[in-house]
Structure 1
Amino acid sequence: MSRTRTALLAALALTAGASGTALAVVPGDTGIAAAPCTVDYKVQNDWGSGFTAAVTVTNNGAAKSSWSVGWSYAGNQRVTNAWNAKVTQSGAAVTAANESYNGTLATGGSASFGFQGTYSGSNAIPATFTLNGVTCNVDGGGPTDPGPTDPGPTDPGTPTGRVDNPYAGAKVYVNPEWSAHAAAEPGGSRISNQPTGVWLDRTAAINGVNGGMGLRAHLDEALRQKGTGELVVQLVIYNLPGRDCAALASNGELGPTEIDKYKTQYIDPIAAILADSKYSGLRIVTTVELDSLPNLVTNVTPRATATPNCDVMKANGNYQKGVGYALNKLGDIPNVYNYLDAGHHGWLGWDDNFGPSADMFKTAATTEGATVADVAGFIVNTANYSALKENNFKITDSVNGTSVRQSKWVDWNRYVDELSYAQAMREKLVSVGFDSKIGMLIDTSRNGWGGSARPAGPGATTSVDTYVDGGRYDRRLNTGNWCNQAGAGLGERPKAAPEPGIDAYVWIKPPGESDGASSAIPNDEGKGFDRMCDPTYTGNPRNNNNMSGALPNAPLSGKWFSAQFQELMRNAYPPLS
């Protein structure tokens, strides 16, 4: 759980509220804020030598076209990385200035940013904050005010009976169909007992396709695997109208306007099965509608990456409606944990994508009767290849005076790997109103990047590009490449609570299942041919016009791809024994 600290004036007395939030009370205060500004400073994670914090400043004075928040530490805290603000530090004094996209601060308006820091000894909370040089104070909500991201113990919208992290202390379901495919491959028995996601990527999958297992069959098998302990079942909810408007390989069966069919023929039957009391002892994790919502931020007019299909889906609102409906219906089931897709660092890590995407997720999570209480967390890197940790360079590094952000690979992104992105996105999501206890999942099924091509250390400091390219684990030509990537390897094995804010590393994308066909293949699943899956394709603006990096001879998305599976095992990191 996060620790919440609120900025205080030195003259104020501290009282600890029942919500766990430290608030200030002014003698004689009637609960109405009279200060020109308020600052809320929350320590979200603290591991003894470092921490992450989220800061929200509210302007109670005249509207501002730019802002700067200042404070001083009493200890030796040092800010090492920040998001949604330009943070500088001189000695104990810290200044956080707005980015180009969030400088406007209306009267009554708020801005939020986050950062990571280090310390030794005490991590004392700053006593005084300023906004554009004017001293701020806490708000007048009173010592029992739970705040916007803490609904309090009696909030009727908070699901009961759920644990903070469903993966903690639990086994995870091994899909016998995937396990059989893996075990049949030479060497595949080394990983065939790993848990993977069950993809409900069309209506027919609910009852089973071509004699395969349907949802009830998987849940019944999960009960058998469960025994007397706890067990998590991972389901992929993936069938929105006009699905995945920017990637033809993963288009779906429903047209852009078929929202009612999505609700009544897809979500409602799934919810009815999951609500069966027979399955109430399972912890059911749903990863809800991968990829689609971020497209409404990055692939719509006037972006250079816009597609007509994404413009249609933004205009009709059916992505938000579908996601909201799914969250609402599934969130009503006490043993279901909804995790909403939050893209990956190579998609949403840029300044003009990061904040707007969090806002888009909030919009969808409060549509069609859904509330933020229906969201247990978020998942990143699903079916993608972004490295978990890049140990050989940091976003704050520079070479001969040139920032790593200016390298061709990083290309001004704020993040270089999935762990830093996931932790930062979590803080941003909390700042826009999601519960402070949300956790993140990271799909590590294909982001190991091991084998002989894995760098053993940093690259040469000849230039910022030789430094980054020589040291990066992720060997793709561009972070926009996503289809059947050559040279990829299995990543970290599924694991609960591996890092602060991370509920689990998971294999939601079953290794060995294709991302898309490398040439056009007629099918009845609504899946198109995407040139990003063609190894001869020279690219588009979404991958900076690089080659696709895709493997040849790939089948339709979701079909078994033996050559890819063998390559993933060969390049696994940690290596397979």
Structure 2
Amino acid sequence: MNVWRRLSGPRRGLALAGAGVLVAGGLVTIPVTAAQAATQCDVAYSSNDWPGGFTASITIKNLGDPVNGWTLGWTFPNSSQRVQQGWSAEFTQSGSQVTARSLSYNGNLATGASTSIGFNGAWSGSNPKPTSFTLNGVVCNGGTTPTTAPPTTAPPTSAPPTTAPPTTAPPTTGPPTTTPPPGVKVDNPYAGVPGYVNPEWKAKANAESGGSRISSNPTAVWLDRIAAINGTPNSSSNGAFGVRDHLDEALRQGAGYIQFVIYNLPGRDCAALASNGELGPDELPRYKSDYIDPIAAIQGDAKYRNLRIINIIEIDSLPNLVTNTSGQAGGTAMCDTVKANGAYVNGVGYALAKLGSLGNVYNYIDAAHHGWIGWDTNFGPTADLLKTAAGASGSTVNNVTGFIVNTANYSALREPYVKITDTVGGQSVRQAKWIDWNFYVDELSFAQAFRTKLVSVGFNSNIGMLIDTSRNGWGGSARPTGPGATTSVDTYVNGGRIDRRIHAGNWCNQSGAGIGERPRANPESGIDAYVWVKPPGESDGSSELIDNEEGKGFDRMCDPTYGGNPRNGNSATGALPNAPISGAWFSAQFQELMRNAYPAL
């Protein structure tokens, strides 16, 4: 996967609408006023807390006169408590004061009627629950005697009630039977909410010595064949859970986001063998009807509308069309075929359009890594091709939340001791054999630069980048502590580089690799999150031919005895021995990744 091939600002603001609107930073202040009479009401507030964040649920019950449009108000006890994403109301916060305004479908509350709203929030220090609420400016007292003084003269005992009771039982909820409109998507789906922890991966990690140190991190779920949609209990590389099972478990966990890898294009991985797929290059109609459509149907279920569903779109696909077709080093007949028939471009476009139409779904397209498209001959053409795919099969750039780099790869996040601008003895480090005239030496600088390029070719200016840091830590005793010797550009680069691979084109089960930065949102300018899309411990491919029912072949780049090819400078592969097929559990690699983790575990 992510084979190396060579041919010769931060996101700002937060505004939601529809199923939930949040205007952060005090940009809009909506006073709580007594626009409607609601002399008696009851509010039930509950929250599910975790370090630094929480999900709150609020049930509003009207015990007074019917209301047509409502505004709920409260003050957080702790000034650090912030609303980040809400649903079923329009949320506004100024300082510690919060208001939540009804939407078009849930504004009418008859006497005795209830409605529920909620939000995801953040906190520091402590997260005490608010205890006093107002509805349309009147304090909710649960139906108890109001604090205002009673009349000095009691009404006659025979006087009828001032408000006649309803003749029929009131509805139990306020919203109509129709599904609420979907909300406008948040700017960064990773921000402020906990990620889904796949229990199947967690169980495998916990079974390893010391694995519990990392097993609570969110990882992506790979949908690498049609059967994975409903679950593959007898498979060696996927568990019994299907898409719906994972989504239901995410709700049970109280997760704010879940990640899926959409990975089953016709003629998949056209330049390699370890992750070949089940669909032939001419099976685009089946990709649409049997793969994308069922995934979209499940992800579009209204029960998941408050869960941020993140799709990583087709690893390695589009960059292959830039670097691995005829006339280029490493070109293959399969890449020629899927480029000519449009299977990749139209498949990606269809996936973007179908999944991107869902109000709570976020699409990130794979954009390879610096050691693949970091040269100017690849950099611009790849950006252009991504733009073409984003507009194919009825899609537009609005279906693209961002891009991901280094998926299932090992490129270092930062190279602290080697900068692309360094010179040794008057020679640029770009002349070093390792760098080989590339314009980038690490993933962070590449991701930020590529984001700028993508915006320049027509993608929205608020796109964000993801970096897969699951296996690019390169810690342990082999990690350099300073620059290399200045004898030559090669000794300088090889002595100081964090990435200890034999060649930057090596991608399969790399010896010496370690777990990298833990998943987190907004780590750097223009970067939405560091993520673990490749679950640590899952193999990249088998080190020898293994018969299997998943259509996965044997690639010599996974063979530790192989002497390489032109794609990796005819270098040794650096792959670990005794590896199973791609996606299957590889205990020896998992243990090595933990030993070499950076930051250390």
- How high is the TM-score relative to the length of structure 1? 0.72
User: Does the alignment pair 1:217 with 2:252?
Assistant: no
Specify which of 557, 565, 574 is matched with residue 540 of structure 1: 565
Instruction: Give a deviation string over 1:226-266, Cα, whole Å, max 9, x none.
Output: 1xxx6110000000000000110010000010000000000
Does the CA contact (< 8 Å) of 1:376 and 1:439 recur in 2?
A: yes
User: Does the alignment pair 1:192 with 2:215?
Assistant: yes
Specify which of 324, 346, 349 is matched with residue 371 of structure 2: 346
Specify which of 276, 279, 288 is matched with residue 251 of structure 1: 276
Specify which of 353, 360, 383 is matched with residue 328 of structure 1: 353
- Please give the alpha-carbon distance, in whole angstroms, between the structure 2 residues aligned to 1:418 and 1:3: 19
User: Does the alignment pair 1:558 with 2:583?
Assistant: yes
- Please give the alpha-carbon distance, in whole angstroms, between the structure 2 residues aligned to 1:402 and 1:308: 39
**Cα distance, 1:305 vs structure 2:** 1.4
- Please give the alpha-carbon distance, in whole angstroms, between the structure 1 residues aligned to 2:366 and 2:273: 19
- Please give the alpha-carbon distance, in whole angstroms, between the structure 1 residues aligned to 2:293 and 2:569: 41
- Please give the alpha-carbon distance, in whole angstroms, between the structure 2 residues aligned to 1:421 and 1:474: 15
Instruction: Give a deviation string over 1:300-344, Cα, whole Å, max 9, x none.
Output: 111021111111111111000100000000000000000000000
Specify which of 494, 508, 514 is matched with residue 519 of structure 2: 494
Does the CA contact (< 8 Å) of 2:11 and 2:464 recur in 1?
A: no
Describe the shift of the 1:3–1:536 C-alpha distance in structure 2 as closer, same or farther (beyond 3 A). Answer: closer
SS of equivalent to 2:404: strand
Q: Flag structure 1 segments of 5+ consecutive residues without an equivalent.
A: 5-158
- Please give the alpha-carbon distance, in whole angstroms, between the structure 2 residues aligned to 1:574 and 1:210: 35
Q: Flag structure 2 segments of 5+ consecutive residues without an equivalent.
A: 1-8, 13-181, 235-239
SS of equivalent to 1:503: strand
Does the CA contact (< 8 Å) of 1:196 and 1:507 recur in 2?
A: yes
Using CA pairs under 8 Å that are at least 6 residues apart, name the structure with larger relative contact order, 1 or 2: 2
SS of equivalent to 2:296: helix
Specify which of 189, 193, 196 is matched with residue 173 of structure 1: 196
1:74 maps to what in 2? none
User: Does the alignment pair 1:385 with 2:413?
Assistant: no
Specify which of 534, 547, 551 is matched with residue 526 of structure 1: 551
SS of equivalent to 2:222: strand
**Cα distance, 1:2 vs structure 2:** 6.0
Does the CA contact (< 8 Å) of 2:11 and 2:526 recur in 1?
A: no
Does the CA contact (< 8 Å) of 1:2 and 1:436 recur in 2?
A: no
Does the CA contact (< 8 Å) of 2:183 and 2:360 recur in 1?
A: no
1:403 maps to what in 2? 428
User: Does the alignment pair 1:272 with 2:300?
Assistant: no
Does the CA contact (< 8 Å) of 2:387 and 2:457 recur in 1?
A: yes
- Please give the alpha-carbon distance, in whole angstroms, between the structure 1 residues aligned to 2:241 and 2:209: 24
SS of equivalent to 1:233: strand
Please provide the CA RMSD for this pair.
Answer: 1.2
**Superposition pairs of residues 349-498 of structure 1, within 5 angstroms:** 349-498=374-523
Specify which of 182, 206, 215 is matched with residue 229 of structure 2: 206
SS of equivalent to 1:467: helix
User: Does the alignment pair 1:261 with 2:286?
Assistant: yes
- Please give the alpha-carbon distance, in whole angstroms, between the structure 1 residues aligned to 2:334 and 2:502: 26
1:307 maps to what in 2? 332
- How high is the TM-score relative to the length of structure 2? 0.69
Q: Which amino acid aligns with 1:344?
A: H
- Please give the alpha-carbon distance, in whole angstroms, between the structure 1 residues aligned to 2:551 and 2:279: 8
- Please give the alpha-carbon distance, in whole angstroms, between the structure 2 residues aligned to 1:434 and 1:210: 40
**Cα distance, 1:160 vs structure 2:** 5.4
SS of equivalent to 1:199: strand
Does the CA contact (< 8 Å) of 2:10 and 2:527 recur in 1?
A: no
- Please give the alpha-carbon distance, in whole angstroms, between the structure 2 residues aligned to 1:256 and 1:447: 32
Describe the shift of the 1:260–1:553 C-alpha distance in structure 2 as closer, same or farther (beyond 3 A). Answer: same
Runs of 4+ in 1 over 2 A off after TM superposition: 1-4
- Please give the alpha-carbon distance, in whole angstroms, between the structure 2 residues aligned to 1:515 and 1:316: 28
Does the CA contact (< 8 Å) of 2:10 and 2:525 recur in 1?
A: no
SS of equivalent to 2:250: helix
Instruction: Give a deviation string over 1:430-485, Cα, whole Å, max 9, x none.
Output: 00000000000000000000000000000010100000000001000111100000
1:10 maps to what in 2? none
- Please give the alpha-carbon distance, in whole angstroms, between the structure 1 residues aligned to 2:343 and 2:367: 18
**Cα distance, 1:223 vs structure 2:** 0.3
1:52 maps to what in 2? none
- Please give the alpha-carbon distance, in whole angstroms, between the structure 2 residues aligned to 1:525 and 1:353: 32
- Please give the alpha-carbon distance, in whole angstroms, between the structure 2 residues aligned to 1:256 and 1:524: 19
**Superposition pairs of residues 84-123 of structure 1, within 5 angstroms:** none
User: Does the alignment pair 1:514 with 2:542?
Assistant: no
Q: Which amino acid aligns with 2:187?
A: D
SS of equivalent to 2:477: helix
- Please give the alpha-carbon distance, in whole angstroms, between the structure 2 residues aligned to 1:166 and 1:3: 12
Instruction: Give a deviation string over 1:371-411, Cα, whole Å, max 9, x none.
Output: 00000000000000000000001000000000010000100
Q: Which amino acid aligns with 1:189?
A: S
Does the CA contact (< 8 Å) of 2:540 and 2:582 recur in 1?
A: yes
SS of equivalent to 1:412: coil
**Greater CA deviation, 184-193 or 301-310?**
301-310
SS of equivalent to 1:235: strand
- Please give the alpha-carbon distance, in whole angstroms, between the structure 1 residues aligned to 2:487 and 2:329: 33
Q: Which amino acid aligns with 1:267?
A: I
**Greater CA deviation, 306-315 or 502-511?**
306-315
- Please give the alpha-carbon distance, in whole angstroms, between the structure 1 residues aligned to 2:10 and 2:268: 35
For these two proteins, the number of residue pairs brought into alignment is 419
Does the CA contact (< 8 Å) of 1:492 and 1:573 recur in 2?
A: yes
Q: Which amino acid aligns with 2:225?
A: R
**Cα distance, 1:3 vs structure 2:** 9.8
User: Does the alignment pair 1:242 with 2:270?
Assistant: no
Does the CA contact (< 8 Å) of 1:234 and 1:284 recur in 2?
A: yes
Q: Which amino acid aligns with 2:242?
A: G
1:570 maps to what in 2? 595
**Cα distance, 1:537 vs structure 2:** 0.6
Q: Which amino acid aligns with 1:460?
A: A
SS of equivalent to 2:274: helix
Q: Which amino acid aligns with 1:278?
A: K
